[in-house]
Chain A
Amino acid sequence: MADFRGTILTQRGRNLLAKAQTGTTLTFTKIKLGDGLWISNTDPTQLNDLVSPKLNLPIQEIRVVGDGTVRLRFVLTNTGLSQGFFMREIGIYAQDPALGEILYAVAYAGDRADFIPSDGVTKVENVVDIYTVIANAQNVTAVISDSVVLATKQDINTVKPEASSTAPNLTYPGKLWVDAASFLKYFDGSNWKNVKASFADTVDGFHASLTPAPNVIVPLDMNGVLDLSASYVKSSDYAFRRINGDNLTSDYLLQIGEEIIYTWDTTKSLTKPLYIANAGGWYEMDIVFPVYTGVNGRLFLYPNNTVYVNAFTWGGFSVPDGVAPGGGSGTSSGFYLHKAGLSGYTKVFVSTFVACKMVLCILRGYHPDFNAMSTLVIFSSWNDITTYWTSFGTLVAEQPNSEAFIRIRRLY
C-alpha cells in the first residue's frame, strides 16, 4: 500500500471547517485519486484540486472517531479504469455552502506510491480508510454511495444475526437475534420483537387468487405449527388448502383438492351464492343444519346461478326410523338436495361435466313429516347435455331455518 503521511487541510478546507464550528453542516462528497508529482515548493494548503486527478471514488462509510477526526472509508477499485497510474495523491472533497464542492484535504505519497493497474487481468478491490480533521464540528456527514460495497469482517460480525440466550449488546434498528427459544427477533430501535410473517391475502384475510411462488417455504405459526391458512401445499395435481368463501364477490376457480367453507344464516337470506367457477369436474359437498326448528322446506342448488324451469329430474327414497320406506320422483328447476325440514347432515357428490351433470345426496336428519329421524337418498340430474355448467351456482332454501355450515372440495 502506498505510504501516505497524513492528510493536510487545504485553505478552503480550513475555511469550511471554521464554518462547521459554528453549526454549518460539514458534508464530505467524494474521494479523488491522482498521480500528480508535487514540485518541491508545492503548498498543499493552496491546492483547489489534485495536480493530476485520475479516479473519482464514492464514500462508503463515515464515522466520527471522537478525537477531532473523522474516518472516511472508500473502496479502491480499478473497475472501469482504462489506464493504470501511480496513486500519489488522495483528495477529500466536501461541500462548501458558498463555493460548492471544494478540495477539503489532501494526502501525498510521492515516490512511495503504489501502481493501480488498469481494469483487466488484475483486479484491485481494497477497503481504504482515510482520516482527516474535523475539530469540534457538530454536524458531520458524507454523501454515501451504495454502488460499491466491500464488507469487512467487522462489518459482517456487526450485521449478522446472533444466536444467544441473552440479547446482543450491539443494537440498531433491524438487528436480528435468534434467542434461546429459537424465535427470530428484530430490534425495532427500542425493543426486541418477534419476526412475524406478513400476508397480503384478502379473502377472509387470505388472498385466494394468489399462487405461491416456487420454493416458497410454508410458514410456521408462533407455536411452530404448519400454518396453511394463508398459503397451501400443492403437488403437481393436488392442492391442500381451505379458504373461506363468505366474502367472495366473484367466481373463484378451486384447484383440485382445494376446499371452501361457508356459513349461511337462512333467517337472513334464503339464497347463498357460492361463487365458484367451474370448468368441468367433480366435487364433494357437506351441508350441515345443526338446529332443528320444525321448518319443512326444500333446498335446491341452481347451477350457473340460474333457475332452468323443469329442466331437472330427480328420484329418491326415504327411510324414516320405525316407519316403512317410501320413494318418489319428479321434475324440478334446479338440483333437489334436501327434503327433511332443513336439519341434519347432507353429503353431496356433484358431477359437473357437460354431458354428465348430476348430484347425489345422502341425508340424515329429522323429518317433520314423520316426526322421526330419517335417512334419505336423492339423485338429481340436469338432463340437458349441451349447456355448460360454468358457475357452481346458488343454494336456495324454501323456508328460513337456522345457520348452516357448508364445505365444498373439488375432487377433479
Chain B
Amino acid sequence: MKVWVYIHPELEILCCALLQESIPDNVEAIEFEVESPNDIVYDGYQIRLKTQDEKLQELKAQKLSELKTYVAGLLVQSDYIITKIAEAQIAGDTEAVEQLKQKYSVQLQQREAIRLWNEQMKQAIKNAQSLDELLSLEINFKEPMNA
C-alpha cells in the first residue's frame, strides 16, 4: 500500500497518511510503498523504511509478550494447588505437604512441562533469524504424551 509520511508539526511525532487527501495542509510528506503502515520509522535523522532486523526485533518482542500472557493463562489454572502446598509449608505440616504433592502430582508435572516448554519457546523466539522463522513459531502448548 502507499502511505505518505511526515512529522506532525504540532505533535512532533511520525505520522503516515493512508489517503493522500489526508495529508495536512502545509506539510511536506514523503511517499512510500509499504506492506504495513508500521514499516516506517523516524530515527531522529530521517524517515525511512524499517530494516529487516528492526522488524525482526519488534516481532520478537511482540511474540515474547504473547507467550508470557499465554503461559500465565495456563499456569493460573493450577495456582490453587501451589497455594495449598505453600499454606501447609507455612504451617510446618510436612506430612500434609507430601500428601498434597502426591495428590496433585499430575498437575505439578504439567506445570513443570509448561515451564520447560516456555523456556524452549523463549529461546526459539530469541534465536529466530528471520521473520518467516518467527512467524512459523506457534504459541500453542501441547500436553506431553506421557503426562
Contacts and interface: CB of A to CB of B under 8 A. Distances in A.
Interface of A: 270-271, 273, 302, 304-311, 320, 323-328, 330, 333, 369-371, 384, 386-387, 391, 394, 396, 398
Interface of B: 1, 3, 8, 10-11, 13-19, 21-22, 36-38, 40, 42, 65-66, 69-70, 72-74, 76-77, 139-140
A325 B75 CA distance: 11
A375 to B, nearest CB: 13
A271 B17 CA distance: 12
B11 A311 contact: yes
B139 A309 contact: no
Contact of A326 (B13, B17, B73): B73
B139 A310 contact: no
29 contacts: A273-B18, A273-B19, A302-B18, A305-B19, A307-B15, A307-B16, A307-B18, A307-B37, A307-B38, A308-B13, A309-B13, A309-B14, A309-B15, A309-B42, A310-B13, A323-B73, A323-B74, A324-B76, A326-B69, A326-B70, A327-B69, A330-B65, A333-B38, A369-B70, A386-B10, A386-B11, A391-B22, A396-B36, A398-B36
B24 to A, nearest CB: 9
Contacts, number: 76
4 A-B pairs with least C-beta separation? A307-B16, A305-B22, A309-B14, A326-B73
| Residue with the greatest number of chain B CB neighbours at <10 A, chosen from A306, A323, A330, A398 | A306
B73 A320 contact: yes
Contacts of B139: 369
B6 to A, nearest CB: 9
A357 B66 CA distance: 27
Given A306-B15, A307-B37, A391-B22, 6 more contacts: A307-B3, A307-B17, A308-B13, A309-B15, A311-B13, A324-B76
Contact of B37 (A310, A324, A325, A333): A333
Given A320-B73, A324-B76, A326-B73, A394 B19 contact: yes
A270 B21 CA distance: 19
A271 B15 CA distance: 17
B10 A387 contact: yes
A271 B22 CA distance: 15
Nearest to A302: B18
Contact of B1 (A270, A306, A327): A270
